């Protein structure tokens, strides 16, 4: 998730572009750059690091001209560095891009075979070269962009300028957002509304497949074949702060509702639905290595540890491989034994958590092969690992992790499927079922989130006054119970415990009375009957039971005080759905209590202390 901006008009472009990027920094902040046409040629300034580094560079090397494009980056291909920062240039063509090009490996190889010299590790530079090749065949800029895009699969919001034309920006969109802004004799372009708000409130949202030629006085919209397209103009009356949160009250709520999009980005290019398999070329593990592992140890902290627990169930079930999960801090606190041919999978949103980083180094020093499942590209943990399988959730700003958790689940499930297929434990038919199941998760998430928009607020009002809340789950739902309890604790400051349903009668059941709401995760899976018995045991002791169950489950509805219904999917994929009501419940309880939802007390987004 990066941010792009564009300006063509009568004013100096650079200050407007920098201002737009500042308002889009929430979309990414590991490097930034501008390209401005000075009347003769396009000049580019890029810097690694936050936007202020670019601003400093622009003081030394000012860019002048009334047309330009800009970018703030959140790395997806290639580590954060100046050479990987946008804009990317090929001959007269300069490009900024937000999105992920799925077939980048194939395109890169083709260009290398043609003798093209690539400067960066990014997928975006490939687009610049494709456009340049088409220009040199005699096409105009918009024709060249269309022809280049015919070769590209994946998600993009692109803005392209040519040194031969100081009056036009060509932009195109597929899957990544793009907004046009209409001024008086000037036009604006941005990934999102906040970038444009100080300049205009008249905006047009582009749709997938749209290509636009932006000039100072007009925007000409076509489709990818060049046919005319019309999109409505809208008046936006949001305040700048509302706009940054896309109209949501808190980043956490925005990030909860962003999960279908985050999942799509994470799954993009990794599900081969035709072959019914998972693509993990980027991870760098061979099929032979996959067959040779003797055991898997998953290491993580907090929410990432809960995701790792789900990963353990997936790896054991799908790959028939012994798997164990460790808290990174505890792994360091004992004399952990690394067996021969052990794979250590490290899970971390930030890639910088100190305990997880030190545990990574320890496992590596003891001879393990280390794979990092991390959201922040180029962070410390992947740098100390043998390979990385990145989640593509985009920057997560709310301290309580939501969208990063679900994308971690997706990567762990994909990795489990990949391992299972390579090790022979997983049939082609079941692999295909799981691949299809994963492909449908984003739309199931959207439906479920939409259906809970008002009901979870009501539920939070009904149960949110409790002093203690219990969350119960069994099998793959046990880590989700732990995650539900952690979310509630950290943002609403209510005491909450997650328990394996089967453990209740060994002690914690004594806590239950009429005051204690008990969430029971009881979707139809292999543990359904036993989980239902546990639900009834809680009910029989006076608990107020909130069931998270499969749609149409009258047996559960008959014995519960409240029910959240989740749509059917493969039981292993259900955690991706059952976690959603728990995230929303915590959010609404915290919001009613008036806590600082995005920055809860005593917590930090990245924990770099022991
Ligand atoms: C809770 C939360 C934390 C993190 C933990 C590990 O919502 O976000 O528990 O999961 O601090 O952080 P990462 O994943 O960055 O290693």
Enumerate the β-bridge partners of residue 190.
Answer: 5, 179
Q: Are residues 259 and 225 in the same domain?
A: no
Assess whether the C-beta atom of 485 lies below 6 angstroms from ligand 1: no
Handedness of CA 426, 327, 304, 281 (dihedral sign): negative
- How many Å lie between the centroid of ligand 1 and the Cα of residue 302? 5
pLDDT of residue 318: 97
The residue out of 242, 260, 284 marking a domain boundary is 242
Assess whether the C-beta atom of 350 lies below 6 angstroms from ligand 1: yes
Residue 522 is assigned to a structural domain of this protein: yes
Judging by beta carbons within 10 Å of its beta carbon (0-12, 13-18, 19+), is residue 329 exposed, middle or buried?
middle
Query: Which of the listed residues 304, 379, 405, 482 should we mutate to test ligand 1's pocket, taking the one with most ligand atoms within 8 A of CB?
Result: 304
Q: Measure the CA–CA gap between 217 and 229, rounded to whole angstroms.
A: 18
Residue 225 is assigned to a structural domain of this protein: yes
**Nearest-atom index, ligand 1, CA of 353:** 16
**Nearest-atom index, ligand 1, CA of 402:** 7
Q: Are residues 254 and 188 in the same domain?
A: no
- How many Å lie between the centroid of ligand 1 and the Cα of residue 320? 28
Residue 434 is assigned to a structural domain of this protein: no
Q: Are residues 219 and 259 in the same domain?
A: no
Considering only CA atoms, which of 108, 131, 306, 103 is closest in space to residue 211? 131
- How many Å lie between the centroid of ligand 1 and the Cα of residue 353? 8
Q: Are residues 231 and 260 in the same domain?
A: no
Rounded to 5°, the CA angle 472-476-477 comes to 25
Residue 372 is assigned to a structural domain of this protein: yes
Q: Are residues 216 and 266 in the same domain?
A: no
Q: What is the pLDDT of residues 570-599, one digit of tens each?
A: 999 999 999 999 999 999 999 999 999 988
The CA distances from residue 46 to 28, 30, 50, 53, 350, in Å, are 15, 11, 11, 9, 24
Q: Are residues 516 and 552 in the same domain?
A: yes
Residue 44 is assigned to a structural domain of this protein: yes
Considering only CA atoms, which of 566, 552, 406, 549 is closest in space to residue 472? 549
Residues 6+ apart with CB under 8 A from 580: 256, 259, 445, 448, 449, 452, 566
- How many Å lie between the centroid of ligand 1 and the Cα of residue 508? 26
Backbone angles phi, psi at 275, to 5 degrees: -80, -15
Q: Are residues 96 and 153 in the same domain?
A: yes
**Nearest-atom index, ligand 1, CA of 356:** 16
Q: Are residues 219 and 280 in the same domain?
A: no
Backbone angles phi, psi at 338, to 5 degrees: -100, 125
pLDDT of residue 242: 67
Cis ω on the peptide bond leading into residue 428 (within 30° of 0)? no
Assess whether the C-beta atom of 72 lies below 6 angstroms from ligand 1: no
Assess whether the C-beta atom of 400 lies below 6 angstroms from ligand 1: yes
Backbone angles phi, psi at 221, to 5 degrees: -100, 135
Q: What is the pLDDT of residues 211-263, one digit of tens each?
A: 999 999 999 999 999 999 999 998 887 776 666 788 899 999 999 999 999 99
pLDDT of residue 509: 85
Assess whether the C-beta atom of 356 lies below 6 angstroms from ligand 1: yes
Q: Are residues 376 and 331 in the same domain?
A: yes
pLDDT of residue 88: 97
Q: Are residues 321 and 416 in the same domain?
A: yes
- Ligand 1 atom 9 nearest Cα: 302
Q: Measure the CA–CA gap between 580 and 444, rounded to whole angstroms.
A: 11
Which range of residues forms the domain containing residue 462? 453-600
Residue 443 is assigned to a structural domain of this protein: no
Assess whether the C-beta atom of 407 lies below 6 angstroms from ligand 1: no
**Nearest-atom index, ligand 1, CA of 400:** 7
The residue out of 225, 242, 259 marking a domain boundary is 242
Query: Which of the listed residues 302, 359, 393 should we mutate to test ligand 1's pocket, taking the one with most ligand atoms within 8 A of CB?
Result: 302
- How many Å lie between the centroid of ligand 1 and the Cα of residue 502? 27
The residue out of 223, 242, 261 marking a domain boundary is 242
Ranges of residues in the chain whose predicted pLDDT is under 50 = none
Rounded to 5°, the CA angle 554-579-436 comes to 85
Query: Which of the listed residues 493, 605, 607, 608 should we mutate to test ligand 1's pocket, taking the one with most ligand atoms within 8 A of CB?
Result: 607
pLDDT of residue 282: 84
- How many Å lie between the centroid of ligand 1 and the Cα of residue 229? 45
Tokens at 259, concatenated: 């999960």
- How many Å lie between the centroid of ligand 1 and the Cα of residue 349? 7
Q: Are residues 225 and 259 in the same domain?
A: no
Residues 420, 431 contacting (CB under 8 angstroms): yes
Q: Are residues 233 and 259 in the same domain?
A: no
- The CATH number linked to 513 is 3.40.50.10490
Query: What is the β-pairing status of strands 544-550 and 277-278?
Result: unpaired
Beta strand ranges found along 216-316 (DSSP E): 218-222, 234-235, 271-272, 277-278, 295-300
The CA distances from residue 4 to 274, 350, 380, 552, in Å, are 33, 23, 27, 45
> How many structural domains is the chain composed of?
3
Residue 356 is assigned to a structural domain of this protein: yes
Assess whether the C-beta atom of 301 lies below 6 angstroms from ligand 1: yes
Q: Kindly report the number of other CB atoms within 10 A of residue 191's CB atom.
A: 30
Residue 523 is assigned to a structural domain of this protein: yes
**Nearest-atom index, ligand 1, CA of 408:** 14
- How many Å lie between the centroid of ligand 1 and the Cα of residue 304? 6
Q: Kindly report the number of other CB atoms within 10 A of residue 177's CB atom.
A: 20
Residues assigned a catalytic role: 2, 605
Tokens at 82, concatenated: 């100046």
pLDDT of residue 111: 96
- HEC sequence for 525-593: CCCHHHHHHHHHHHHHCCCEEEEEEECCCHHHHHHCCEEEEECCCCHHHCHHHHHHHHHHHHHHHHHHH
Assess whether the C-beta atom of 302 lies below 6 angstroms from ligand 1: yes
**Nearest-atom index, ligand 1, CA of 607:** 11
- The CATH number linked to 186 is 3.60.20.10
- How many Å lie between the centroid of ligand 1 and the Cα of residue 538? 30
């Amino acid at each position: 998730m990066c941010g792009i901006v564009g300006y063509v008009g009568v004013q100096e472009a650079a200050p407007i572009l920098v201002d737009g990027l500042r308002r889009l920094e929430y979309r990414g902040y590991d490097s930034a750059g501008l390209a401005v046409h000075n009347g003769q040629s396009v000049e580019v300034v890029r810097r690694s690091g936050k936007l202020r580094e670019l601003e400093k560079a622009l003081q030394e090397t000012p860019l002048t001209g009334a047309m330009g494009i800009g970018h703030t980056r959140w790395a997806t291909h290639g580590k954060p560095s100046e050479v990987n920062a946008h804009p990317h240039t090929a001959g007269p063509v300069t490009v900024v891009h937000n999105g992920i090009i799925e077939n980048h490996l194939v395109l890169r190889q083709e260009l290398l075979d043609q003798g093209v010299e690539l400067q960066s590790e990014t997928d975006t530079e490939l687009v610049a070269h494709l456009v340049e090749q088409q220009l040199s065949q005699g096409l105009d800029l918009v024709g060249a962009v269309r022809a280049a895009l015919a070769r590209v699969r994946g998600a993009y919001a692109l803005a392209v300028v040519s040194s031969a034309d100081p009056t036009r920006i060509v932009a195109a969109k597929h899957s990544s957002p793009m907004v046009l802004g209409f001024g008086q004799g000037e036009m604006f372009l941005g990934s999102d509304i906040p970038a444009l708000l100080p300049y205009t409130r008249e905006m047009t949202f582009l749709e997938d497949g749209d290509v636009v030629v932006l000039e100072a006085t007009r925007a000409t919209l076509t489709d990818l074949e060049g046919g005319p397209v019309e999109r409505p103009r809208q008046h936006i009356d949001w305040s700048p702060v509302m706009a940054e949160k896309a109209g949501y009250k808190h980043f956490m709520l925005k990030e909860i509702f962003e999960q279908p999009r985050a999942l799509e980005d994470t799954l993009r290019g990794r599900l081969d639905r035709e072959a019914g398999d998972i693509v993990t070329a980027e991870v760098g593990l061979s099929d032979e290595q996959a067959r040779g592992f003797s055991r898997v140890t998953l290491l993580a902290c907090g929410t990432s540890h809960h995701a790792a627990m789900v990963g353990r169930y997936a790896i054991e079930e799908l790959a028939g491989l012994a798997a164990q999960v460790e808290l990174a801090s505890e792994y360091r606190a004992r004399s952990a034994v690394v067996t021969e041919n052990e794979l250590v999978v490290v899970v971390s949103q930030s890639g910088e958590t100190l305990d997880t980083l030190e545990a990574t180094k320890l496992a590596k020093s003891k001879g393990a092969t280390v794979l990092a499942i991390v959201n922040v590209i180029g962070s410390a943990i992947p740098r100390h690992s043998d390979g990385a399988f990145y989640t593509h959730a985009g920057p997560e700003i709310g301290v309580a992790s939501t969208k990063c958790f679900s994308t971690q689940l997706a990567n762990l499930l994909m990795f489990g499927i990949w391992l299972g297929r390579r090790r022979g434990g997983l049939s082609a038919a079941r692999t295909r079922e799981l691949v299809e199941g994963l492909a449908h998760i984003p739309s199931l998430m959207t439906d479920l989130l939409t259906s809970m928009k008002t009901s979870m607020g009501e539920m939070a009002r009904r149960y949110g006054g409790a002093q203690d809340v219990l969350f119960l789950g069994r099998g793959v739902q046990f880590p989700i119970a732990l995650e539900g309890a952690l979310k509630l604790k950290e943002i609403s400051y209510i005491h909450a415990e997650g328990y394996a349903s089967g453990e209740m009668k060994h002690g914690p059941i004594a806590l239950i009375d009429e005051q204690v709401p008990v969430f029971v995760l009881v979707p139809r899976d292999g543990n359904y009957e036993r989980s239902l018995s546990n639900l009834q045991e809680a009910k029989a002791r006076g608990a107020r039971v909130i069931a998270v169950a499969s749609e149409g489950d009258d047996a559960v509805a008959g014995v519960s005080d409240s029910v959240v219904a989740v749509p059917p999917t493969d039981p292993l994929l259900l955690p991706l759905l059952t976690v959603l009501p728990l995230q929303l419940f915590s959010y609404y309880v915290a919001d009613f209590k008036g806590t600082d939802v995005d920055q809860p007390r005593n917590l930090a987004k990245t924990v770099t202390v022991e």
